[in-house]
Structure 1
């Protein structure tokens, strides 16, 4: 979805697990991120390892943003069904 009135970023994220039961597995999250919205939702569309065929969603909340450096603190809450 395009907009001339709202900033949106195309996200292509892979969350990689490096320890424990899920070590070596990933979750794939592409989607539009309306950065100025309080809560943004994006789909989990799969992954690798134990998250192969995963489905779900991610909610992103920005707690701090520094417009000078571009640094941000963002919380990602992930809900996933996997087989």
Structure 2
């Protein structure tokens, strides 16, 4: 419902399959921000726990029109450690969404520029 706030603490995996390798963790907040459609304003920190960017993260702060089938784009507004001062965007694709529980598998294609 409009105005609802949700906290997340979810794994980041290499692929959408349940047995995909975990490479990080996503923590943040979603706020249901529209009265007539499902749209979220979200702040999420995506921290990597494996690979080249282990211990580094990117931050997304943007509006997410959840039901929009194509062209869902979120802003990358910052980062930490190796991804410090990151700027860019994330293109999203929903693999699955369970409306009652809110559980979803979302694919992110992220383009980032950093120092």
Q: TM class by shorter-chain length? A: 0.7 to 0.9
Structure with the higher helix share, 1 or 2: 1
* 2:67 is the counterpart of 1:36: yes
Question: Which residue does 1:54 correspond to in 2?
Answer: 86
Which residues in structure 2 correspond to 1:1-83 (within 5 Å)? 3-39=34-70, 40-83=72-115
Q: How many residues align?
A: 82
Higher RCO structure (Cα 8 Å, ≥6 apart): 1
State the 4+ residue runs in structure 1 displaced beyond 3 angstroms. 2-5
RMSD of Structure 2 on Structure 1 (CA): 1.4
Contact 2:34 2:40 (C-alpha < 8 Å) held by counterparts: no
The answer for unaligned runs of 5 or more in structure 1 is: none
The answer for unaligned runs of 5 or more in structure 2 is: 1-32
TM-score when scaled to structure 1? Answer: 0.87
TM-score when scaled to structure 2? Answer: 0.65
